[in-house]
Amino acid sequence: MSSDQTSRILFTRIARRWTRMTLLVAEGGEAGLKLAVERRPRLVVLESELPGVGCETTVIRLRNQAVTSQVPIVVLSSVDSPMARMRLLLAGANAFLTKPLDVAKVDRIVAELLEARSFCS
């Protein structure tokens, strides 16, 4: 099993504990963009190494869509690269988390992002 598959399983287990949220999974940036526009999620979580449309492009395109422009975006990465972190945050991501995932940190960041969004909505 690859580290991306392991991270997806872990993140799925984390997300299933959150109440009033349904986890939707898309394979790749293009499918994720389409799903986000159709379903208007409360939160988007992206792998930094997306097949097809890259993560930075996906973040920019999410920010440029009216229906997803304010949706919090969390990027998961297996590499703690300050340059990649900066590029993705400047593109519009709200958080950049490195693997292995710290469950408490994921919970805290997601709660903060969703709470901040509820004040802005």
Spatial CA neighbour of 101 closest among 19, 4, 10, 9? 10
pLDDT at 95: 96
pLDDT at 27: 81
Specify the length of the chain in residues.
121
Q: What is the average pLDDT value for the chain, to the nearest integer?
A: 85
- pTM score: 0.86
Spatial CA neighbour of 19 closest among 121, 114, 119? 114
Q: Read off the pLDDT of residues 54-101 as tens digits, 9 standing for 90 and up.
A: 899 999 999 999 999 999 999 999 889 999 999 999 999 999 999 888
Residue 3 clears pLDDT 70, i.e. is over it: no
Residue 17 clears pLDDT 60, i.e. is over it: yes
Q: Write out the residue range of the structural domain in which residue 110 sits.
A: 3-120
Residue 118 clears pLDDT 70, i.e. is over it: no
Window from 7-21, 40-54, 87-101 with minimum mean pLDDT: 7-21
Cis, bond preceding 100 (omega within 30 deg of 0): yes
Cα–Cα distance measured from residue 52 to residue 71, given in angstroms and rounded to the nearest whole number = 22
Q: Give the number of domains in the chain.
A: 1
